[in-house]
A and B are shown apart, each in its own frame.
Chain A
Amino acid sequence: MSNPFSPEPARIVRKYKLTKDVKFFQIRFIDKERALSFEYRPGQFMMFSIPGTGEAPFSISSTPSRPGLLEFCIRKTGRLTEALFRLKENDEIGIRGPYGNGFPIIKMNGYHLFIIMGGLGAAPLRSLLLYTLDNRELFGRLHLLYGAKRPKDMLFKTEFFEFIEREDIECLLTVDKDDTGKWPCYKGFVNSLFQRIEDIKPDNTYACVCGPPVMYESVLNELVKLNIPKHQILMTLERRMKCGIGKCGHCAIEDIYTCIDGPIFTYWDVLHMKELI
């Protein structure tokens, strides 16, 4: 019997700072074969294992359309993430996965995509964003709406700045507060960006949202105002997870396991299940 709890050996290939408390990690399975044949969907996550500290889930930030390396952006918040930040390039780490439902990318084919993120919400949504750009012909229009507290809190700034000039993506970046006086994009919360969006065909649109809890309410309001069907509004939810494979019970909400049936839910699921937010 293969053991789904077994971490697989991997190596930290690159690690660098994105913001004060968020670091970017590039990770590769040590087994070459495994590294190249590993398959996943945008929106799925991996369990990281550090011996002596434990395990924790992290969303995959890279896209399956660029195999070989897995990328993550991770915020330091506690024991495990501190231990992870202490590891150096070339150090070994255990990972297992991929877990979770991921985005329904096949269903989303041909649709106009709204990718809406706040803060660390960029972690899972960057995967979908890069995937869409690599398979541009499979999707309709593409909007990226991203809000951060201040310019220095924005993740992947250089990468996203390049999108502003591209023709195949409409990239709107905003900060709550510009403490530099030189911020070249928008100011205000993410929901304020909606006034700049025109010609939406709501039935032909999928909106994917991930961000801090405060962001959801205002953004969901805007999306409902645009008449985007509730089952085409997708959001990722965070729950405590100990196993990632539907056994430990920690992520249970009513009769679903966030780790298997989620972490991506439709807005309808969220309204339907009392405890979801």
Chain B
Amino acid sequence: MRTLKLKKEKLDTFLFKVSKHGELWGPRKKGEVYIYDKIDDIKDLIKEPVTTFLPIKKLFLPPRFQMFHYNGKTYEENTEIFQQRIVYGVPSCEIHSLLIFDRVFGHTYKDPYYFKRREQTTIIALSCLPRESCFCKSTNTHVIEEGFDLAMTDLNDFYLVWVGTSKGDDLIRLSPDLFDRNVTQEDIREFIEWRERRNNEFNQTIDFVAIPDLMDLNYNSPIWEEFAEKCLSCGACSMVCPTCNCFDVIDEIELSDGSVKRERYWDSCMFKEYSMVAGGHNFREAKAERLKLWYTHKLHSFTGAYGKPSCIGCGRCIITCPVDINILSVVKALLTGKVDKNSLLTRKSK
């Protein structure tokens, strides 16, 4: 892969150039949290790596959007012209979540709504150092080899810039003079040191190797009932998890002209209605069953289908669940056979 260098103080100039090429998106502060948003003023952009409240999936699978408009005769596909977007600041774990989505939305039938947004978006990944709840080294999602157009590694006074695709190369060509082609031995050493430091900074490690087997073995374990007693079925875990892709579809009738909008919106398998079929029969009436489904998807299913868990180690469930049911507390319970009561319900500060 081609690598270049970009001086720290040149980043703004580069992103300003980029913003003329398409809409610039990236993390900005909103109240107490960071969110991915359209950046109108480069001053608003957070240049350091952060964990946003909602993950990058919202750009490709918006929380709610229109699929069709039915005009009384035909279903018109929502051909909203998407602007070219360039997203800055996507961490490597979230790049992995997009690679997982590419498979989910691409297998057997291609989901045009997802892939159109994917094609219209250029991604500038940004290296990060682990925050308190991160454990992407355990999920092996702390390094990226594909799924980005440019990737930047922050090495003190410059960024190492990896050019992943020709779309990424186009961005470089907007202002080639900003980049230095001369990567020295000194730079490489600095990069290696940075990697070491990053790898040593994780305060969470999970050994995922035995987890699928433990999921199987603990299928009827009382731990699920214990978690279920606490779970509020609020669905927050699904909203913030970068690899939750479930949606529901609803028709809205326009009162003015009787036309119909068919819309797609995020759903959660934690909601009670999720598995209800005709006549009110529910395959997952019990909360424990729904929790099992969620954690089977994160920890088990994907190991069968794709050879690795679908958890990317971003830590959002740890930050978000109001009663501390999360990958860590569940894995701990799977390993020890009991739920650590002290770890539940003790709301940690973020």
Contact = CB atoms under 8 A, between A and B. Distances in A.
B74 A3 contact: no
Interface string B269-299: 1000011111100010000010011001100
Interface in A1-26: 1-7, 9
B3 interface: no
Interface in A82-127: 94
A252 B297 CA distance: 9
A248 B247 contact: yes
Contacts of A66: none
Contact of A53 (B68, B110, B112, B251): B251
Nearest to A76: B278
Interface in B49-98: 67-68, 70, 74-75, 77
Interface residues of B, number: 47
Interface residues of A, number: 36
B146 interface: no
A198 interface: no
B245 interface: yes
A142 B67 CA distance: 45
A5 B75 CA distance: 10
Contacts of B75: 6-7, 49, 51, 94
B194 interface: no
Nearest to A56: B278
Contact of B246 (A5, A52, A238, A250): A250
A157 interface: no
Contacts of B269: 249, 252
Interface in B226-254: 245-251, 253
Given A4-B110, A255-B300, A255-B304, A51 B251 contact: yes
A274 B275 CA distance: 16
A51 B70 contact: yes
B23 interface: no
Contacts of B275: 239-240, 250
A67 interface: no
A254 B293 CA distance: 7
A77 B304 contact: no
B108 A240 contact: no
A81 B278 CA distance: 10
B277 A54 contact: no
Interface of A: 1-7, 9, 49, 51-55, 75, 77-78, 81, 94, 238-240, 242-243, 245-250, 252, 254-255, 260, 274-275
Given A247-B109, A247-B111, 19 more contacts: A1-B115, A1-B116, A2-B112, A4-B110, A4-B111, A51-B75, A52-B70, A54-B249, A54-B250, A77-B279, A240-B274, A240-B276, A243-B247, A248-B246, A250-B267, A250-B274, A254-B304, A255-B300, A274-B219
Interface of B: 67-68, 70, 74-75, 77, 104-105, 107-113, 115-116, 219, 245-251, 253, 260, 262, 267, 269, 274-279, 283, 289, 292-293, 296-297, 300-302, 304-305
